[in-house]
Structure 1
């Protein structure tokens, strides 16, 4: 199978690239009606949003069966990861939690058009039934202490969190450890040298 490189050297198949292009086209059309992403990021859509989301796919354990993405918005990172998993790991079921009904409609449209193994829950995170997920992800959603409070009810006993974080990650980690105990691995962001991806495991209340 031929592979094609996204920005920053992430390789995908021609079929996956085609699906991502459909996704990008849909986003740009819907963006004219509702604010899915910051308008200033549209010219750099692939790197700022698609590659930034796609980089976390390789951090998932091989035995993942359920992946929950919180505050999905326009689908970053959860829907991008679902698109990458469509061929290589089609058994992974993705659940996208997004309280905004219009954004939820957009997510469902992309899922339908791309034939992805994903569902959308249009509800507030706090009101969502526990999901028993292997992975919970989120991007630009909340400070880490609050984010762990959102994620913890939706993890299974061995579940992990994968979170995009910015320049204040050190401060956020210190604050989070006042309430939570966890092991953490830092992964350098492919997009921004001041950003990082956190992989958290062994999460429980202090």
Structure 2
């Protein structure tokens, strides 16, 4: 059962009720597997819904119209990518190198029917030619400091992808450092879930020399 507060927020972020059973199946699987491998931190079922599922899905209203697919870099347990695919119907490309987490993700995709493809190689090895044409958005949550994250996302940004990154309270410091080598057209959106967090929207990014 989805907690009442989570239901309110899902509706606020345009997540239709039709996708809720699949989201519930994903959360149930996540709860079963997290005692076996390190997928997410400790917490109750309510914590999972608010701190992970809803937090990841709050980016939906920010996605550019016409987007057909997205990449989730360092997806880990599949958040936000797998719930995002379930909630929007967009084609998800989940990038994760940990084999145990990939095993979980394969099972989660099988159980939920999410429109996701798994990519198990190192993100650092990607080139623009490796990026599927349908990807118009790159997302990431708790993967790396912004400068490193932009470097990892560079093949996608070169292709003109929008980026929506979950970031924390040090965003100003990270932006100061990142803009030493990146020219960014960006917007900072306050997080609706974490009072200290933000969603960094990068509309356009150009790498420049230091």
Counterpart in the other structure of 1:89? none
Counterpart in the other structure of 2:112? 114
Q: In structure 1, what is the Cα distance between the partners aligned to 2:44 and 2:38?
A: 12
Residue 66 of structure 1 contacts residue 93 of structure 1 at CA under 8 Å; is this kept in 2? yes
| Long gaps (5+) in structure 2 | none
Residue 7 of structure 1 contacts residue 46 of structure 1 at CA under 8 Å; is this kept in 2? no
Residue 157 of structure 2 contacts residue 204 of structure 2 at CA under 8 Å; is this kept in 1? no
Instruction: Kindly provide the CA deviation profile for residues 76-114 of structure 1, in whole angstroms up to 9, marking residues without a partner as x.
Output: 11111111013xxxxx32100001011111112111111
**TM-score, normalized by length of structure 1?**
0.90
Alignment of 1:80-91 (within 5 A): 80-86=83-89
Matched position secondary structure for 1:10? helix
Structure 1 runs of 4+ with >2 Å offset: 4-10, 12-15, 40-43, 127-130, 154-158
State the number of aligned residues.
198
Alignment of 1:153-192 (within 5 A): 153-155=155-157, 157-192=159-194
> Kindly tell me: are residues 80 and 157 of structure 1, through their superposed partners in 2, closer, same or farther at Cα, counting changes over 3 Å?
same
Q: CA deviation at 1:16?
A: 0.9
Matched position secondary structure for 1:75? coil
Q: CA deviation at 1:10?
A: 2.4
Q: CA deviation at 1:55?
A: 0.3
Residue 157 of structure 2 contacts residue 205 of structure 2 at CA under 8 Å; is this kept in 1? no
Residue 140 of structure 1 contacts residue 165 of structure 1 at CA under 8 Å; is this kept in 2? yes
Residue 165 of structure 1 contacts residue 196 of structure 1 at CA under 8 Å; is this kept in 2? yes
Residue 26 of structure 2 contacts residue 108 of structure 2 at CA under 8 Å; is this kept in 1? yes
Residue 74 of structure 1 contacts residue 103 of structure 1 at CA under 8 Å; is this kept in 2? yes
Residue 50 of structure 1 contacts residue 76 of structure 1 at CA under 8 Å; is this kept in 2? yes
Cα RMSD between the aligned structures?
A: 1.8
Counterpart in the other structure of 2:9? 9
1:141 matches 2:143: yes
Residue 77 of structure 1 contacts residue 138 of structure 1 at CA under 8 Å; is this kept in 2? yes
Q: In structure 1, what is the Cα distance between the partners aligned to 2:7 and 2:169?
A: 22
| Long gaps (5+) in structure 1 | 87-91
Q: CA deviation at 1:9?
A: 2.4
Counterpart in the other structure of 2:82? 79
Q: CA deviation at 1:190?
A: 1.1
Select the structure that is richer in strand. Answer: 1
Q: In structure 2, what is the Cα distance between the partners aligned to 1:102 and 1:35?
A: 9
Q: In structure 1, what is the Cα distance between the partners aligned to 2:170 and 2:8?
A: 24
Counterpart in the other structure of 2:65? 62
Counterpart in the other structure of 2:96? 98
